[in-house]
Amino acid sequence: MTDRTNREVAAMADDFLKGRISRRQFVLRGMAAGVSLVALSPILAACTTSPGASSGNGDGASADALKVFHVPKFTGFIFFELARKGVDEATAELGAPADTYIGPDKADTQQQVSVLQNVLPQKPDVIVLASLDLNALSPSLKEARESGAVVVTYDADVSADARDLFTNMMTFEQQAAAMLDSALMNEPEGGKAIWLAPTATTANFISQKEAIDKLIADQPDKYGKIEFIDTLFMNDDPEKSKKVATDAMAAHPDLKLFVTGSGMANPAVNQAIVDTGNTGKVFSTGFALPSTMTEYLEKGVCKQFALWNPTDFGYLAAYAGIQKKLGVIKGTEGETFKAGRLGERTIGKDGEIILGQPLFFTKENPDFPA
């Protein structure tokens, strides 16, 4: 162990001896600092046999008693099923009981509010949430936090005062660049484009479009050839996405691009392009799940799109939330912590934690890396 790690472990041992942290917190904090369980065991044993040693009943929470709730935007969509796998993995790895996966069966903000209201009486310790609306869920989440719950958002945020941490796939500038680069890979000449969003109040789509507009303004030589002429809303519904896209192509015969961060919209819009005979004339790109886009890559309907690993996304959100509830991390700006198999992460402004770089998918690279 390095000198710094030795000092950290010594401080934790002192906290354990004085009853400020539990045995489990000592182990979790030690592992978060990069110390193996094998190395921690003799230190823990020495502390336990020392005069005044803690009985292990520290003031912090115990992982094996935590109630973790995972609330996606809606159930039944593969993106959130993959994120669910990551949440399950982190929960098991940190020794908490199996988490509860519960959400609306469609993209309905009021239904998601109702789900949270049903969760509150169950005294949640950690809520991992992908929000359908920037503000509508905030009162319920504030109530949960006042009762002691840690709230971590992923995929789409809420107001910063309604949660503790926000796990973002990339910075919004990186997201914007990934989508615009994919747009130019599909249509190098650029042209007229339409931005598709679920609603006018879905937080990540607001931030994505702001970042796109800024990037076009700041780098006109690279991105200025893309001209956004409208924003249309499709409520994360495949049938509505197809209709919106079909109507837009009829209204704008010179349209070249649809760009969206919606994994629900992109495959549906690509199908609308096929159905209207616009393959090779209009392209839809941005973010999408590889499994939903394979046929469009193979047929040249779409040449490139981007995403990140949803399983890692859910894993990081749950890992950070549980660590905060256990007192392993405080959640303060600039704090660095070990996020399990994902390695070291730093908490940024307003509790933002970045997952990583985008993955680009093409006909030659149609799926997640093995």
Same domain, 72 and 142: yes
DSSP 206-274: HHHHHHHHHHHHH-HHHHTTEEEEEEEE-TT-HHHHHHHHHHHHHH-TTEEEEEES-TTHHHHHHHHHH
Burial class of residue 45 (count of CB atoms within 10 Å of its CB; 0-12, 13-18, 19+): exposed
Model pLDDT for residues 328-354, shown as the tens digit of each residue: 999 999 999 999 999 999 999 999 999
Same domain, 160 and 243: no
**For residue 129, what are the domain limits?**
65-169+310-355
Domains of the chain: total: 3
CA dihedral of residues 223, 225, 230, 234 (deg, nearest 10): -60
Model pLDDT for residues 129-156, shown as the tens digit of each residue: 999 999 999 999 999 999 999 999 999 9
> Contact 367/310 with Cβ under 8 angstroms?
no
Same domain, 189 and 275: yes
Residue 350 placed within a domain: yes
CATH number at 96 reads: 3.40.50.2300
Query: Under 8 Å CB-to-CB from 81, ≥6 apart: which residues?
Result: none
Same domain, 190 and 302: yes
Per-residue pLDDT of the chain (370 residues; tens, 9 = 90+): 566 667 777 777 766 655 566 666 777 777 777 777 667 666 666 655 444 333 332 335 678 899 999 999 999 998 999 999 999 999 999 999 999 999 999 999 999 999 999 999 999 999 999 999 999 999 999 999 999 999 999 999 999 999 999 999 999 999 999 999 999 999 999 999 999 999 999 999 999 999 999 999 999 999 999 999 999 999 999 999 999 999 999 999 999 999 999 999 999 999 999 999 999 999 999 999 999 999 999 999 999 999 989 999 999 999 999 999 999 999 999 999 999 999 999 999 999 999 998 899 999 999 887 6
Same domain, 301 and 186: yes
